[in-house]
């Protein structure tokens, strides 16, 4: 074998070895999502609302709890600076994500430990602490995954991963709904929490197998210069502030859909699960469509196209006045799934694809903080509004809020969104 052949063989061997390492890392990241999805699906959305109602929470308390997860995102700015000091991101990520999983799953122990009058406050305390830990874990995971997934396969990989995990989430959601209908009250929630505890522990274990990928750190070593980088990026800030305003409007009603359906429309958990499964299935299908469009058009342009779709889903609730309830709810959930699937995917691609790699943690944190603040006040205000209109005509509580919010979203999209989210 001559020198050229030897050199070619060595190069090919390195390429195969490098490729196999990438594939192994991506497999770990995908399989980690399995216990994480099962754990989170059974603790959020309709199950979170149902458990809070079981604990005795009011609509404003439910709105506050739903908003808490986004408020703590403000802390991501400090975390984005502090991770620059870490010799290794992996073990810090495992620690904070582990704390989040343990504390959140511990909310299932509240009825066994506290007197009934303290159930809601104990839940809020545990839930808040869990999501403070998740704030740090989320920044670290986003930073690691953006380095772990090569840019050339990023769109395809996240499309496949999201589709797979959302399919799993749909099955879990439907199964959880059946359990709560067959075993209402404490018995049903105990069954769900047993499953949660098993997969919360499994999820933490899988994180131990994550690779400790090299970290390309910011050129800035002080907090203020690092913090100012995204703030001085005019295009980034205009887009982020607009999306924050959009999420404020969207979250006035969307997080409280489960409250409206469970408390005001008296829909059972199985039907509610089917509604959410239909939303998830169409969201999954939309990943493929939005991903293909993203190969031709920019993230920002496609983000704009998702906005009228989301607004339309809110306006469709008004059809409850003339059409059968389930027909309208299924249609509204399907349209929302298509819109929000594109919005979430394209917003994530915008942050990890259109921002400087070395400064990405601070860009991510700034985006999360600003959108987190608006997403916090959204359900908080929404919950208060539902209490204020409790004595108004029934239709104003069931779909009146959605009509007002949908109209405001359409106006915001076409008056500001068209100008801000245009290609430069």
**398 pLDDT exceeds 80?**
yes
- Residue 167 CA neighbour count, 13 Å, CB half: 8
Residue 10 binned pLDDT confidence (cut-offs 50, 70, 90)? very low
Residue 339: the pLDDT is 94
pLDDT at 136: 87
Mean pLDDT, range 308-329, rounded to an integer:
94
Under a CB-based contact definition with an 8 Å cutoff, are residues 104 and 44 in contact? no
What is residue 62's predicted lDDT score, i.e. its pLDDT?
85
Q: What's residue 354's pLDDT?
A: 65
Q: What is the pLDDT of residues 105-126, one digit of tens each?
A: 999 999 999 999 999 999 999 9
Query: How do residues 240-278 score in pLDDT, each as one tens digit?
Result: 899 999 999 998 888 888 888 988 898 888 888 889 889
The pLDDT assigned to 2 comes to 53
Is residue 347 within 8 Å of residue 242, measured between CB atoms?
Answer: no
- pLDDT for the residue numbered 155: 65
Task: Collect all residues with Cβ–Cβ distance below 8 Å to 156 and sequence separation of at least 6.
Answer: 291
C-alpha–C-alpha distance, residues 253 and 63, integer Å? 10
**Poorest-pLDDT segment among 97-106, 117-126, 208-217:** 208-217
372-389 pLDDT, tens digit per residue, is 888 888 888 888 888 888
Percentage of residues in the chain having pLDDT higher than 90: 34
Q: Stretch 121-138: mean pLDDT, rounded?
A: 92
**Do the beta carbons of residue 83 and residue 272 sit within 8 Å?**
no
Task: Identify which has the larger pLDDT, 136 or 100.
Answer: 100
Instruction: Give the pLDDT confidence score for residue 248 in this predicted structure.
Output: 92
Residue of 136, 63, 60 lying closest to 94 (CA atoms): 136
Task: Tell me, letter by letter, the H, E, C secondary structure of the chain.
Answer: CCHHHHHHHHHHHHHHHHHHHHHHHHHHHHHHHHHHHHHHHCCCHHHHHHHHHHHCCCHHHHHHHHHHHHHHHHHHHHHHHHHHHCCCCHHHHHHHHHHHHHHHHHHHHHHHHCCHHHHHHHHHHHHHHHHHHHHHHHHHHHHHHHHHCCHHHHHHHHHHHHHHHHHHHHHHHHHHHHHHHHCCCHHHHHHHHHHHHHHHHHHHHHHCCCCCCCCCCCCCCCHHHHHHHHHCCHHHHHHHHHHHHHHHHHCCCHHHHHHHHHHHCCCCHHHHHHHHHHHHHHHHHHHHHHHHHHCCCCHHHHHHHHHHHHHHHHHHHHHHHCCCHHHHHHHHHHHHHHHHHHHHHHHHHHHHHCCCCCCHHHHHHHHHHHHHHHHHHHHHHHHHHHHHCCCCCHHHHHHHHHHHHHHHHHHHHHHHHHHHCCCC
Q: Of 348 and 353, which is predicted with more confidence?
A: 348
Dump pLDDT digits (tens) for 79-94: 888 888 777 788 889 9
Query: Which residue did the predictor score with more confidence, 28 or 357?
Result: 28
């Amino acid at each position: 074998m001559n020198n050229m052949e030897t050199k070619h063989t060595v190069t090919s061997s390195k390429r195969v070895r490098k490729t196999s390492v990438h594939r192994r890392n991506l497999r770990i990241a995908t399989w980690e999502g399995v216990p994480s999805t099962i754990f989170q699906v059974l603790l959020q959305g309709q199950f979170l609302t149902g458990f809070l109602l079981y604990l005795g929470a009011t609509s404003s308390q439910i709105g506050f709890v739903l908003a808490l997860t986004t408020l703590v995102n403000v802390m991501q700015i400090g975390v984005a600076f502090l991770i620059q000091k870490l010799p290794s991101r992996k073990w810090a990520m495992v620690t904070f994500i582990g704390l989040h999983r343990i504390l959140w799953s511990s909310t299932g122990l509240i009825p066994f430990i506290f007197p009934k009058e303290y159930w809601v406050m104990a839940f809020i305390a545990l839930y808040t602490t869990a999501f403070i830990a998740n704030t740090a874990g989320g920044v670290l995971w986003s930073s690691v995954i953006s380095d772990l997934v090569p840019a050339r396969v990023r769109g395809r990989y996240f499309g496949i991963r999201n589709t797979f995990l959302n399919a799993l989430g749909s099955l879990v959601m439907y199964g959880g709904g059946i359990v709560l209908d067959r075993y209402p009250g404490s018995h049903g929630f105990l069954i769900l929490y047993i499953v949660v505890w098993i997969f919360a522990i499994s999820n933490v274990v899988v994180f131990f197998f994550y690779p400790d990928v090299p970290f390309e750190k910011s050129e800035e070593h002080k907090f203020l210069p690092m913090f100012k980088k995204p703030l001085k990026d005019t295009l980034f800030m205009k887009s982020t502030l607009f999306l924050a305003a959009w999420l404020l409007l969207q979250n006035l009603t969307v997080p409280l859909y489960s409250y409206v359906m469970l408390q005001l429309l008296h829909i059972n958990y199985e039907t509610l699960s089917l509604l959410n499964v239909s939303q998830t299935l169409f969201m999954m299908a939309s990943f493929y469509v939005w991903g293909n469009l993203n190969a031709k058009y920019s993230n920002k342009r496609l983000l704009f196209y998702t906005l009228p779709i989301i607004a339309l889903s809110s306006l469709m609730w008004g059809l409850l006045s003339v059409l059968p309830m389930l027909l309208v709810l299924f249609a509204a959930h399907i349209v929302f799934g298509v819109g929000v699937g594109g919005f979430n995917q394209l917003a994530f691609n915008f942050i990890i694809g259109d921002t400087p790699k070395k400064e990405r943690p601070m860009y991510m944190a700034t985006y999360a903080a600003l959108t987190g603040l608006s997403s916090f006040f959204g359900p908080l205000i929404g919950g208060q509004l539902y209490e204020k209109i409790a004595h108004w005509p029934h239709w104003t509580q069931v779909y009146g809020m959605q009509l007002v919010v949908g109209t405001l979203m359409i106006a915001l999209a076409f008056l500001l969104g068209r100008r801000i989210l245009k290609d430069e």
